[in-house]
Amino acid sequence: MSPLEHAAIKEIGVVRSSLVARKNAPRQGHLGAPNATVEIDPTFASALLGMSAGDWIILITWLHQADREVMHVRPGHDPNRPITGVFATRSPDRPNPIGLHRVQVLSIDGTSLSVGPLEAIDGTPIIDIKPVLKNSADS
């Protein structure tokens, strides 16, 4: 039996963004993505303890509009690039559409985080948040 057979991922929050259509979202935050709001479920409010404006974090999202059957893509939708397996790309279309987004916390108001830049579209579920580590001694 696989250890993941009984795994359950909990949505801890949701992205609120001016990006409402996947086709309009840049591929990466640094490619012109706007700032956005991350609304954390109040159940997880205490997990924000120690987070501050100015921190860099990794948002882990569930790319809910992904096509989970895609195994090959042309990176960046560039017809001049070779067909590549999704595990060698940052394509949102993949068997387990987990997104990683390095963003800066701009402000915190209760369970609402203003972050940016963020290329995730409005309604994208947040499944975890991790700090960006400064060095290998950090935990």
Whose structure tokens read 């409005």? 122
Q: For 12, phi and psi rounded to 5 degrees? A: -100, -10
Q: Tell me the pTM.
A: 0.86
Question: What confidence score (pLDDT) does residue 31 get?
Answer: 56
pLDDT in tens, the chain (139 residues): 688 877 889 999 999 988 777 666 546 656 566 899 999 999 999 999 999 999 999 999 999 998 999 999 998 778 999 999 999 988 888 999 999 999 999 999 999 999 999 989 899 999 999 999 987 555 5
Residue spans of the domains in the chain: they are 11-68+98-131
Predicted pLDDT at 138: 54
pLDDT confidence of residue 24: 67
What per-residue confidence (pLDDT) applies to 70?
93
Task: Name the β-bridge partners of 99.
Answer: 61
Quote the CA–CA distance of 25 and 79 in Å, as a whole number.
19
CATH class of 11-68+98-131: mainly beta
**Pseudo-torsion of CA 70, 73, 78, 81, nearest 10°?**
-170
CB atoms within 10 A of CB 38: 27
